[in-house]
Amino acid sequence: MIGIFDSGLGGLTILRALVHRFPQQKFVYLGDHAHVPYGNRNSQEIVELTRGGVEALFERGATLVLLGCNTATSVAARPLQQLWLPESKWRGRNILGIVAPTVEAATHTPWAVTTPQVPQKYNTDTIAVFGTTLTISSDVYRQEISKRCPMVRVEQQICSLLAGAIENEAPQSHLSKLIKSSVDELMVKTNGQPPHRAILGCTHFPLVEPLFQGHLSTSTQILSQPEIVSNSLHDYLVRHPEHVCLGPQVDAGVKLLTTGDPASISARARIFWDEVPVFDAA
């Protein structure tokens, strides 16, 4: 069984893509709605909350947990992977994040390669990163892209109000205004030149990808995480078939859990996935 952990609902955009890609795979999703938003918390709190979520998924039978949240991945993935997991009772299981496959897609370089390689060594493209305050403040995307493509220009833009507006079902006109403002601020940083690629570094943002594309140049390639993560997980499962656990049908293979109120969370979840199953209490 594969677990998906998120601080809230945005990870459902990732889960939806995974369910469509792997219709016979068993998934369990945990949203930590009792403690959302993580962006208002310090790094140690985020690490501890994420560890608790990962453990809860391991206890329910997951052998692999994917952090379907940019904030949790940016802050907690490395300490959990490198420090906590090897010393825990869960040795032999694994934790993945969504930053690594996104950086791979942006740089055309495997995550394991951390030194510049030809031709990416001489790549002078501009890559934009749109994300929440904590994700951008962590600087993880710029740092990891620069390791592999030192001549690439990375411009980051905080979209502080967008995720909340999406979740509160703001009108398209308001969402478009927020995105235009963020794109305009980014274009000032690039001297009016559109980026070659744009990372949507928040799992809420795929829901408004067409609005980003509309305010960016048609030549800008949008890197949207659901497709990227789906492709990456496919490659991972080919190399690690021990994590493949097949269910008889899609509904039987997907379970959603929340640390919040299941009824209200289930109602809000339909913004992210029309056919989403109901949430149960964690």
Q: Are residues 233 and 208 in the same domain?
A: no
pLDDT digits (tens, 9 = 90+) for 27-36: 999 999 999 9
Q: Are residues 113 and 191 in the same domain?
A: yes
CATH number at residue 166: 3.40.50.1860
Query: CA-CA distance, 21 to 230, in Å (whole number)?
Result: 7
Q: Are residues 164 and 128 in the same domain?
A: yes
Respond yes or no: is residue 159 known to be catalytic. Answer: no
Instruction: Determine the pLDDT at residue 250.
Output: 41
Q: How many structural domains is the chain composed of?
A: 2
pLDDT digits (tens, 9 = 90+) for 106-156: 999 999 999 999 999 999 999 999 999 999 999 999 999 999 999 999 999
Q: Are residues 84 and 140 in the same domain?
A: no
Query: CA-CA distance, 50 to 132, in Å (whole number)?
Result: 18
Q: Are residues 29 and 82 in the same domain?
A: yes
Answer whether the bond into residue 150 is a cis peptide, omega within 30°: no
Q: Are residues 80 and 132 in the same domain?
A: no
Backbone conformation region of residue 244, classed left if phi is above 0, alpha if psi is from -120 to 50, else beta: beta
Q: Are residues 110 and 218 in the same domain?
A: yes
Q: 35 is written with which tokens?
A: 């403690």
Encode burial over 120-158: b for 16+ CB neighbours within 10 A, e otherwise: beebebbbbbbbbebbbebebbbebbbebbeebbbbbbb
Q: Which of 149, 159, 202, 245 is catalytic?
A: 202
Instruction: Quickly count: other Cβ atoms within 10 Å of residue 82's Cβ.
Output: 9
**pLDDT one digit per residue (tens) for the chain, 282 residues:** 999 999 999 999 999 999 999 988 999 999 999 999 887 789 999 999 999 999 999 999 999 999 999 999 999 999 999 999 999 999 999 999 999 999 999 999 999 999 999 999 999 999 999 999 999 999 999 999 999 999 999 999 999 999 999 999 999 999 999 999 999 999 999 999 999 999 999 999 999 999 999 999 999 999 989 999 999 999 999 999 988 876 554 444 899 999 999 999 999 999 999 989 999 999
Q: Are residues 133 and 84 in the same domain?
A: no
Domain stops at, among 203, 225, 247: 225
Q: In which domain, by residue range, is 262 found? A: 2-97+227-281
